[in-house]
């Protein structure tokens, strides 16, 4: 387990590196770093209860590791969060004013115990673990970061899906007064995504409330987001307000906006190009290193059983489905 002190120490170091001697003398170091990196110090959620903070970062799960780790700042300054901005390098700055409290998450639909939870109550109930996952955006950038959270299956099991629940729908927040780009009518807000129920119940499907050992900064999807590491990043909805267990395959945000480019399943596959670019390689945030894309983002052994009947090779022959 990497102690949060290590990250914090690193951040302090970076603040120094980012500041000029002048800013140092003026005591403006923190401000400079926050402006430059959009670090959580500038944009975390207020009022996180002390007993919840004390649970961070949680045990590092050794079997969920991925190297090399992307720098915390690189991950926190290049984000997809269309509610905030369409410019990935501007998301952190635009997200700074975002305040949502208290944040509840509703579990509804085909389940025996529909309920609305306080986010921090979920942390008390399930505890936290830390998993380093690879993340692959459909735009061909990638990273590997430690997420702090709990398995999605824990949350869904608590709600008790009925036998009619075949899919799970995730709905992000809707607050145009706080999220500048939600005022744009070009998108079907709020952001919404979906998984098959067996995908959602898979142990790799993870709910994150933190990254790098601390409460999620807004730009990563505070206070609670999904992490589905074998699928393209857009499946991992941020700032989730509602989870619905449903009978029919739900529509999804990007497949509604551009149906020809984004399908429901969206498993990472180097051999299936995006209509406008190849998916054969990926560029690591921070270092810019180019690496070969891995089938299912490197998680094929873990998740292959989910796709046995409609096999991967079959889908490749049939193209996008
Ligand atoms: N609500 C919401 N969730 C979202 C997005 C978004 O625009 N809005 N973008 C997705 C995409 S395309 C990616 S790659 C990841 C990026 O997560 P990160 O910024 O924490 O790296 O968030 C996903 N979840
Ligand atoms: Mo993405």
Q: Which tens digits make up the pLDDT trace of 30-58?
A: 333 333 333 444 345 567 899 999 999 99
The pLDDT tens digits for 135-165 are: 999 999 999 999 999 999 999 999 999 999 9
Work out the angle between the directed axes of helices 152-159 and 119-126 (0-180°, nearest 10). 100
| DSSP string of 101-144, one letter each residue | -S-EEEEEESBSS-EEEEHHHHHHHH--EEEEEEEE-TTSEEEE
**To test ligand 1's pocket by mutation, which of 236, 241, 258, 262 has the most ligand atoms within 8 angstroms of CB?**
236
Q: Residue of the nearest CA to atom 5 in ligand 1? A: 81
Short-list 231, 156, 226, CA closest to 198: 156
Which band of pLDDT confidence, cut at 50, 70 and 90, is reported for residue 5? very low
Q: State how far the Cα of 130 lies from the Cα of 60, in Å rounded to an integer.
A: 4
Q: Which residue has the higher pLDDT, 178 or 25?
A: 178
How do strand 115-118 and strand 167-172 relate by DSSP bridges? Answer: unpaired
Which band of pLDDT confidence, cut at 50, 70 and 90, is reported for residue 309? confident
Short-list 158, 240, 150, CA closest to 195: 240
Cα 51 to ligand 2 centre (Å) = 33
Q: State how far the Cα of 193 lies from the Cα of 188, in Å rounded to an integer.
A: 12
Range 125-142 average pLDDT: 98
Whether the predicted pLDDT of 102 surpasses 70: no
**To test ligand 1's pocket by mutation, which of 234, 237, 239, 254 has the most ligand atoms within 8 angstroms of CB?**
234
- Start-to-end CA distance of the chain, whole Å, equals 40
- DSSP tally for the chain: helices H, then strands E: 13, 13
Ligand 1, atom nearest to 238 Cα: 3
Whether the predicted pLDDT of 7 surpasses 50: no
Cα 79 to ligand 1 centre (Å) = 7
Report yes or no: 206 and 151 within 8 Å, Cβ to Cβ: yes
Backbone angles phi, psi at 96, to 5 degrees: -60, -35
Tokens of 219: 């730009």
| pLDDT for position 44 | 55
| pLDDT for position 45 | 59
| pLDDT for position 33 | 32
Q: Which residue has the higher pLDDT, 312 or 139?
A: 139
Ligand closest to Cα of 139 equals 2
Q: Residue of the nearest CA to atom 21 in ligand 1? A: 79
Q: Is the beta carbon of 241 within 6 A of some atom in ligand 1?
A: no
The pLDDT tens digits for 63-78 are: 999 989 999 999 999 9
| pLDDT for position 129 | 98
Neighbours of ion ligand 2 (CB under 5 A): 80, 137, 233-234
Whether the predicted pLDDT of 24 surpasses 50: no
Ligand 1, atom nearest to 82 Cα: 7
Q: Of the given ranges (97-101, 111-115, 117-121, 146-150), which has the lowest mean pLDDT?
A: 97-101
Range 299-320 average pLDDT: 70
Structural domains of the chain, ranges and CATH numbers in brackets: 4-307 (3.90.420.10)
| pLDDT for position 96 | 83
Q: Is the beta carbon of 238 within 6 A of some atom in ligand 1?
A: yes
Q: Is the beta carbon of 134 within 6 A of some atom in ligand 1?
A: no
**Residues 239, 242, 245, 247, Cα dihedral to 10°:** -100
Asked if omega into 124 is within 30° of 0 (cis), the reply is: no
Sign, Cα dihedral of 290, 292, 298, 303: positive
State the pTM of this model. Answer: 0.85
Query: Between vectors from CA 52 to CA 159 and to CA 121, what angle results, nearest 5°?
Result: 25
Ligand closest to Cα of 76 equals 1
Cα 233 to ligand 2 centre (Å) = 4
Average pLDDT, the chain: 85
| pLDDT for position 174 | 93
Q: Residue of the nearest CA to atom 15 in ligand 1? A: 233
Tokens of 295: 């089938």
């Amino acid at each position: 387990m990497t102690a949060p002190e290590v990250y914090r120490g690193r951040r302090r170091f970076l603040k120094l590196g980012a500041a000029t001697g002048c800013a140092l003398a003026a005591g403006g170091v923190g401000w400079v770093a926050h402006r430059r990196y959009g670090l959580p110090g500038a944009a975390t959620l207020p009022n996180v209860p002390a007993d919840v903070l004390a649970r961070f970062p949680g045990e590092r799960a050794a079997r969920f590791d991925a190297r090399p780790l992307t720098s915390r700042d690189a991950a926190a300054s290049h984000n997809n969060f269309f509610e905030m901005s369409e410019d990935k390098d501007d998301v952190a700055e635009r997200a700074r004013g975002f305040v949502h409290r208290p944040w509840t998450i509703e579990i509804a639909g085909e389940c025996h115990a529909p309920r609305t939870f306080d986010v921090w109550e979920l942390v008390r109930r399930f505890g936290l673990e830390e998993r380093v996952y690879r993340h692959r955006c459909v735009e061909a950038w990638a990273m590997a970061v430690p997420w702090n959270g709990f398995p999605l299956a824990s949350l869904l099991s608590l709600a008790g899906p009925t036998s009619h629940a075949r899919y799970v729908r995730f709905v992000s927040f809707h607050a145009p007064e706080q999220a500048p780009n939600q005022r744009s009518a070009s998108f079907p807000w709020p952001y919404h995504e979906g998984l098959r129920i067996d995908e959602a119940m898979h142990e790799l499907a993870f709910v994150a409330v933190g990254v790098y050992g601390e409460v999620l900064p807004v730009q990563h999807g505070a206070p609670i987001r999904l992490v589905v590491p074998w699928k393209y990043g857009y499946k991992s909805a941020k700032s989730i307000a509602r989870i619905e267990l449903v009978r029919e395959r739900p529509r999804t945000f990007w497949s509604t906006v551009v149906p020809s480019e984004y399908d429901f399943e969206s498993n990472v596959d180097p051999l299936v190009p995006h209509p406008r670019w190849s998916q054969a390689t990926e560029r690591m945030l921070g270092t810019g290193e180019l690496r070969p894309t891995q089938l299912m983002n490197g998680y094929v052994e873990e998740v292959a059983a989910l796709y046995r009947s409609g096999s991967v090779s079959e889908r490749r022959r049939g193209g996008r489905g």
